[in-house]
Amino acid sequence: MKGTTYETVSNGFDYIRNSVDEEQKLERINSDVIQKWSQSVLFVRNQAELLISHLKTAETMFVGRCIVFMTLFLFTMFNIPVKSSSIFFFQIAWGCYATFQLVRLYLKTSQAERITSAEYNLCNQLASIDPTALAPECELKV
């Protein structure tokens, strides 16, 4: 099953967090492992930046379109009297379409929030590593 681009980035942070969990359980944290985590975090952050730069115009236009659709729906609902069934069905159809756009906006926003949540969880996981358990040459930066 193919996921959305937002899911791909948040899954990247989740995979790194799972790797941290596994290495902590096995007590195999050394400078090589920390270097791999650092490179992986930078890679996923770069992917998130690329995603943002690629989608920001389209997503901004989508938010504007949602505002326009909902405004037009509310305008037609409150200002155009229902004198015939065709106007009534038009208002119902427009309302359903505007509501569908708002649901899409909510789903996209919740997917984007998962990226922030996944990165936050990863940072907490890295911060919870006991520095006294690391080898003296290891340096862990969050």
pLDDT tens, position by position, 58-95: 999 999 999 999 999 999 888 888 888 888 888 899 89
Q: Looking at the domain assignment, is residue 141 inside a domain?
A: no
The size of the chain, in residues, is 142
Our measurement of the distance from residue 125's CA atom to the centroid of its chain's CA atoms, rounded to an integer in Å, reads 19
138 assigned to some structural domain: no
Q: How many domains does the chain have?
A: 1
The two tokens of residue 65 are 């379109």
Please say whether the dihedral angle defined by the alpha carbons of residues 105, 106, 111 and 116, taken in this order, is positive or negative.
positive
Q: For residue 72, is it within any domain?
A: yes
125 domain residue, yes or no: yes
CA dist 131 and 138 (Å) reads 9
Domain that holds residue 37: 5-133
CA-CA-CA-CA dihedral for 95, 96, 102, 105, to nearest 10:
-150
Give the pLDDT confidence of 119-131 residue by residue, as tens digits. 888 888 877 776 6
In the chain, alpha helices (H): 5-26, 31-79, 85-127
The tokens describing 2, both together, are 């193919």
pTM for this predicted structure? 0.71
